[in-house]
Structure 1
Amino acid sequence: MSGQIVMPKLGMTMTEGTITEWYKDVGDPVEKGEPILMISSDKLTQDIEAPESGILLEKRGDTDSLLPVGEVLAVIGEEGAAPIPEVRSAKEPAAVMPAEPEHSVVSAEQAPKETSTRPESDRIFVTPLARRIAEAEGVDLHSIEGSGGNGRITKRDVERALVQREATGILAEAESAIQERASLASGQAIAPQPAAEAGVGEGLSPMRKAIAKNMRRSLAETAQLTLHRKADGNALIEFQQTLKRELVNAGYDTKLTLTVLLARAAVLALQEVKSLNATYRDGKLTEHDEVHLGIATSLDHGLVVPVIRDAHQRTIGALAEDIREATEQARSGAASPSLLAGSTFTITNLGASGVEYFTPILNPPETGILGVGALQDELALSEDGSVKQVKKIPLSLTFDHQIVDGALAAAFLTALVKYIETPYLLVL
């Protein structure tokens, strides 16, 4: 008996993955639970383990090969076992499957309702499962070239057609939105252009390619505007130092950074101005009571956004621990797909890079994203007229002007500054 391992679906948006490294060669014995190969998606890297013991009979992809979800990666079984032609659906997770040959091929001649009207030249060879999927998804079988024996159409062919259809639709919508925005900006009508080629991010690594597509789509589908404001950070810094001393005295080793306190301040501000804690997806706007906070985390070759779920229910200490764990998992490549999805608002901090102000790009379907810059030393007059040194925190709020007006965005920044400059409100 033989079985196969297929490319798993590691996240809702994953359609393909890359073979990063093979740990075994054809003919090598493998034990159940032993890593066979490493794969990577646009956001994650993961070892694929052997679900059963046996011999590695086949490797169906070289290192750096880019394969769609559901594609066979390896075949495991007893030595001399027959290969397996059928693969599991792209919507199902990776697993070893028993050898099950395709059911008999159904042609147009065998289909009782179609044989009498379809000419000989229009015959379609298709497996029953592929036909059912095509009918359910409204896919025209005439437009699919079969990869099975005698050119038969398999479920893998139908699933590839579905992925291609979705990608074509997204690119066409993005191109249309870009043209419309350009037309509005210039005040002139622009003749329709053909849909862009599916070449965004071509030649880049899987992660950079995904980032390229997401950023292009974000700019095409939203009306982004950025407001900038500074906050007096002296009180927040003093508050941080006081808490750190108290935690040390109490025997805690919690890493309390300014990012943690700013995250807490943002959460409280979002509960006051809920319009910024919103998502807009598929024509539906949702304002959320729960704050699922995304923390943009830089990697060596890209960027991911782990999510702190229910951040509004976290104390400062719990929030600090959650952020530490989430960013560590993201940087090590061990983050689960659920950790990288579902945010309602994102914070991105470039303070360590010395950047003061910038224009962060929205993380769709979110309505807002907050950029934090490097602390700036400034001189200011105190209440008694003397000059004092102030640590200013630069804040950059990008929001979707389709959803939120400037007044509401400014109200959010006002609330945020209030919590930064009166930090003891963070613990109430």
Structure 2
Amino acid sequence: MPIEIKMPALSPTMEEGKLAKWLVKEGDAVSSGDIMAEIETDKATMEFEAVDEGTIGKITVSEGTEGVKVGTVIALLAGEDEDASVVAETSAPEKPKAEAPKPEKAAEESKAPKSAPAPAPAAPQTTSSKEGRVIASPLAKRLAAAKGVDIEGLTGSGPGGRIVKADVEAAQPGTAKPKAAAPVAANDAAPAKPATVEMADETRALLDDRIPHTVEKLSGMRKTIARRLTQSMQEAPHIYLTVDVRLDKLMSMRAELNAALAKQGVKVSVNDMLIKALGKALIDVPDCNVTFAGNELIRYERADVSVAVSIPNGLITPIVQDANGKSLSQIANATKDLGKRAKEGKLKPEEYQGGTASISNMGMMGIKQFTAVINPPQSTILAIGAGEKRPWVMPDGSLGVATVMSATGSFDHRAVDGADGARLMAAFKEYVESPLGMVA
């Protein structure tokens, strides 16, 4: 019996995915560990490995298919003693049985004169189907093309006259005939109209046809973002707290760090230092390092900080684990690696699912201040604005100019009281303004 290859669950919450690309073809031999396909989940594109050895007999779900449910059979693998061409032929989906005629209709048909049955046509002695398609295994077709053999002129020795590998190998090479071009119908010359998306009734109701437009299907990632952020705003009552933070000492320490780490090829960013500051602050104020679970409150003893990264068509939050315990150079290396693989769609589910709090930095885009939506099931997210020169009252009371940024914390008020959120923002501000405390 052929082995069923099913759509895998590549993360604990995955229910369906897109079969982005097949890396094997029917007739290809695969071994355990070979990469067979690329599966696109709601957040990343992941490689799917073969578990068993055999030959791909039939691909039942074509590449590019969206919404493939976990557990759906996507291919059939012929075992060691099986002919892959037979698997492909016999695994065709069964046609639905004809519906039994209703009694009234059956009675009417019995009164109608019966016509004589048509004589059965003689079985054709050819390897072509009724549609003119050559019945041959995928391997035989590829081998014929490589050898220059006219496969239509061969007699198949396989089941049902199917042309198999041995038939092509026995044929003389260089016998391929150029195929005549298919006749072009008159209406084929007209330019094809652009493909349209089948719109839902809700979309059609919102559409204003007077305005030039296009309609595109939402990606799995965008659907997930919409669902999770809607859930967050509906279920978690947000409270927002903002502080202005002076960056001058942090910028100075960063310059010294990068000069010292230059020989190692490590470069610490401002964002890396802010991740460390948030990690330390979460440990100092554990009441913000929590998850609201309805009847219970989960308290975390380590700060795993999710970092918002913009990628094509969406947003992903790779996690810097143990941000409170890692050194600044370790955080720099981690964020560089995670950010690169996030944009390539190569993150593993455990690298972006979970975390205890998040940070979103839009300062590099010139955004002065903003509020962020909590990343469920977390209870805290920090929104970082741009550092800019501002008038500032110095410690001695004089007026000067300082580099200042605005940071806004969003907290789930079911789990975090305003006073606890304020203590977290104060601890974060202290670490940024006195950065030696992060490395002490």
Q: CA deviation at 1:323?
A: 2.0
Moved more, 288-297 or 412-421: 288-297
- Give the alignment of 1:247-326 within 5 angstroms: 247-248=261-262, 251-326=263-338
Aligned counterparts of 2:66 and 2:246: Cα–Cα separation in 1: 51
How far 1:345 sits from its partner (Å)?
A: 0.7
State the partner residue of 2:91: 83
Which residue pairs with 1:361 in the alignment? 373
Q: 2:221 aligns with which of 190, 207, 211?
A: 207
Cα displacement string for residues 389-422 of structure 1 (whole angstroms, at most 9, x for unaligned residues): 2111210100011111211111111111111111
Distance in 2 (alpha carbons) for counterparts of 1:263 and 1:388? 28
| Amino acid across the alignment from 1:80 | V
* Alignment-mate amino acid for residue 47 of structure 2: D
Matching residue's letter, 2:56: I
Q: Report the Cα offset of residue 377 of structure 1.
A: 1.5
Does residue 253 of structure 2 align to residue 231 of structure 1?
no
Q: Is the 8 A contact 1:229 1:396 kept in 2?
A: yes
Secondary structure in 1 aligned to 2:86?
coil
Which residue is equivalent to 1:46?
46
Measure, in 1, the Cα distance between the counterparts of 2:75 and 2:294.
37
**Counterparts of 1:173-184 in structure 2 under 5 Å?**
none
Tell me by how many angstroms 1:34 deviates: 4.3
- Which residue of the partner structure matches residue 8 of structure 2? 8
Counterpart CA distance in 2 for 1:293 and 1:334 is: 19
Superposed, 1:13-52 pairs within 5 Å as 13-25=13-25, 27-32=26-31, 33-51=33-51, 52=53
- For the residue of structure 1 that corresponds to 2:274, the secondary structure is helix
1:262 Cα offset (Å): 0.6
Partners of 2:230 and 2:12 in 1: how far apart? 19
Give the 3-state SS of the residue equivalent to 1:73 in structure 2.
strand
Change (3 A) 1:390 1:396: same
Deviation at 1:383, TM superposition (A): 4.5
Question: Where in structure 2 are the equivalents of 1:137-216 lying within 5 Å?
Answer: 203-216=217-230
Q: Using the alignment, how far apart are the partners of 1:344 and 1:209 within structure 2?
A: 23
User: Is 1:60 aligned to 2:61, yes or no?
Assistant: yes
Separation (CA, whole Å) in 2 of partners of 1:67 and 1:384: 65
C-alpha contact (below 8 Å) 2:46/2:348 kept by paired residues: no
How many residues get paired?
Answer: 310
**1:374·1:393 contact (CA, 8 Å) conserved in 2?**
yes
Are the counterparts in 2 of residues 2 and 83 from structure 1 also a CA contact under 8 Å? Answer: no
Match in the other structure for 2:100: none
Q: Using the alignment, how far apart are the partners of 2:3 and 2:246 within structure 1? A: 63
Counterpart of 2:382?
Answer: 370
What does residue 92 of structure 1 align with?
A: none
Task: Map residues 105-116 of structure 1 onto 2, 5 A cutoff.
Answer: none
Shift of the alpha carbon at 1:359? Answer: 1.3
User: Bigger shift: 48-57 or 206-215?
Assistant: 48-57
More deviation, 358-367/385-394 = 385-394
Q: Which amino acid aligns with 2:86?
A: G
> Alignment partner for residue 246 of structure 1, among 243, 253, 260?
260
The answer on whether the counterparts of 1:5 and 1:73 sit within 8 Å (CA) in structure 2 is yes
CA–CA distance in structure 2, aligned partners of residues 75 and 282 of structure 1: 44
Q: Is this contact kept in 2: 1:377–1:389, CA < 8 A? A: yes
Deviations 1:177-222 (A, max 9, x none): xxxxxxxxxxxxxxxxxxxx9xxxx941100001111011111111
- Contact persistence 1:30–1:50 (CA under 8 A): no
Aligned pair in 2 of structure 1 residues 69, 231: CA closer, same or farther (>3 Å)? same
1:232 CA displacement:
0.5
Q: Deviations over 1:231-255 (max 9, x none)?
A: 011111111111111222xx22112
Residue-by-residue CA offset, 1:349-382 (whole Å, 9 max, x unaligned):
1111111111111111111101111112212243
Q: Normalized against structure 2, the TM-score is what?
A: 0.66
Three-state SS of the structure 1 residue aligned to 2:264 is coil
After superposition, give the CA deviation of every residue in 1:8-48 in whole Å (9 maximum; x if it has no partner). Answer: 111121111012223444x4423324443322010110232
In structure 2, do the counterparts of structure 1 residues 387 and 44 end up closer, same or farther at CA, with 3 Å as the change threshold?
A: same
Conserved in 2, the CA contact under 8 Å of 1:55 and 1:79? no
* Residues 1:73 and 1:262: Cα distance change in structure 2 (over 3 Å): same
Q: Which residue of the other structure, out of 313, 327, 344, is the alignment partner of 2:356?
A: 344
TM-score, normalising length from structure 1? 0.68
**Closer, same or farther in 2 for the Cα pair 1:56/1:65, shift >3 Å?**
farther
The residue number in structure 2 matching 1:419 is 431
- In structure 2, relative to structure 1, the CA distance for the partners of 1:55 and 1:13 (3 Å cut) is closer
Residue 384 of structure 1: how far off its partner (Å): 5.2
Distance 1:64 1:353 in 2: 36
Name the counterpart of 1:129: none
1:29 counterpart letter in structure 2: D
Q: Where do 5+ consecutive residues of structure 1 fail to align?
A: 86-196
SS state of the match for residue 340, structure 2?
A: helix
Question: What are the Cα deviations for residues 24-79 of structure 1, in whole angstroms up to 9, with x where unaligned?
Answer: 44x44233244433220101102324442313423234523311111111112122
Deviation at 1:282, TM superposition (A): 4.6
Q: CA deviation at 1:330?
A: 1.7
Q: Distance in 2 between matches of 1:55 and 1:247?
A: 51
Q: Name the % identity.
A: 29
- Residue aligned with 2:336, SS: helix
- For 1:382 and 1:278, the matched residues in 2 are separated by 36
Looking at CA atoms only, which structure, 1 or 2, has the larger radius of gyration? 2
